[in-house]
Amino acid sequence: MKLSRKKSLIKTRKTAVTPKKQFDLNEFRRSFESLDSENYGSWPLSVKITVIGLIIVFIAALAWALPISSKIDEISAAESQQQTLLESYREKESRARHLKAYQAQVIQMETEFNTLLDQLPKDTRVSELVEGINMTGVGSNIRFQDISVEPEIENEFFIEQPIRIAALGEYHQFGSFISGLAALPRIITMHDFEVSNPQPTLDVLPELNLVLQTKTYRSKEAAPEDETGAATDNAGGN
């Protein structure tokens, strides 16, 4: 009898256990509508957990938006500056490693430049140069309109002497004339030039106008023979 009663009691207990209630979204939403704002303790557990979770998320978002995001920007700026400084260090370190080679190159360039300066004449000798230009033009069969010697231009290491040339001739004659100027013993550079046809015609080859700007150079140092010659002239005049 006792065993049968125990079994009956166990059966009744098993039948008294209610099944687990499933989560209902609508009921959970309605629980927010019926909340008592003056009695927080009466809120359902699920609502309390949700509200606490939202508060934690809000606090984390504020912590990210205010101090953490600014720190991230500072870290990004510091990393960018670090990269710039690292590249600058590598460049300076490379210069330091090749400093002796650079100094040797500078010395060599200065030596070559001084050698070129020493090769410049001490006197322009414009009359001789104009005579050479004239003879070259005659040999090229061009007709000069003007050969004007313009004022000198003083640079840091040398003096330029511009010479403007205006002539008449044909294309091939101008080419021969330019080649002849390049073959003169004096250093002559050719710069701005203009070739125009004043009377275009199809019957005969046109005679063209050439306007050429050339420059020759001399050293800034006064020539000793010029000073001696000037002194001799003064003595003879006296």
The pLDDT of residue 211 is 92
What is 126-222's CATH topology?
Answer: Alpha-Beta Plaits (3.30.70)
pLDDT over 90 percentage in the chain: 8
pLDDT band at 202 (very low <50, low <70, confident <90, very high): low
Overall average pLDDT of the 95-122 stretch = 82
DSSP letter assigned to residue 18: P
Please count the other Cβ atoms lying within 10 Å of the Cβ belonging to residue 49. 11
| For residue 119, pLDDT beyond 80 | no
**Most confidently predicted of 23-32, 130-139, 202-211, 217-226:** 130-139
The overall pTM is greater than 0.75: no
| Mean of all residue pLDDT scores within the chain | 75
Cα–Cα distance, 180 to 212 (Å, whole number): 14
Q: How far is CA 124 from CA 136, 137, 180, 190, 226, in A?
A: 18, 20, 19, 17, 11
Cα–Cα distance, 141 to 170 (Å, whole number): 9
Overall average pLDDT of the 123-143 stretch = 86
pLDDT band at 235 (very low <50, low <70, confident <90, very high): very low
For residue 125, count CB atoms less than 10 angstroms from its CB and return exposed for 0-12, middle for 13-18, buried for 19 or more.
middle
Overall average pLDDT of the 114-142 stretch = 82
Cα–Cα distance, 107 to 101 (Å, whole number): 10
In this predicted structure, which of 20-24, 25-29, 34-38, 113-117 has the lowest mean pLDDT? 20-24
Cα–Cα distance, 107 to 116 (Å, whole number): 14
| Torsion (CA) 61, 64, 70, 75 in degrees, nearest 10 | -160
What is the tens place of the pLDDT at every residue in 63-92? 776 666 677 778 888 888 888 898 998 888
Q: Is the dihedral of CA 127, 130, 136, 138 positive or negative?
A: negative
| Amino acid in position 216 | T
The pLDDT of residue 135 is 92
For residue 174, count CB atoms less than 10 angstroms from its CB and return exposed for 0-12, middle for 13-18, buried for 19 or more.
buried
The pLDDT of residue 163 is 92
Cα–Cα distance, 198 to 175 (Å, whole number): 19
The pLDDT of residue 232 is 38
Q: How far is CA 128 from CA 29, 67, 135, 139, 169, in A?
A: 110, 83, 11, 17, 23
So where are the chain's domains?
Answer: 37-97, 126-222
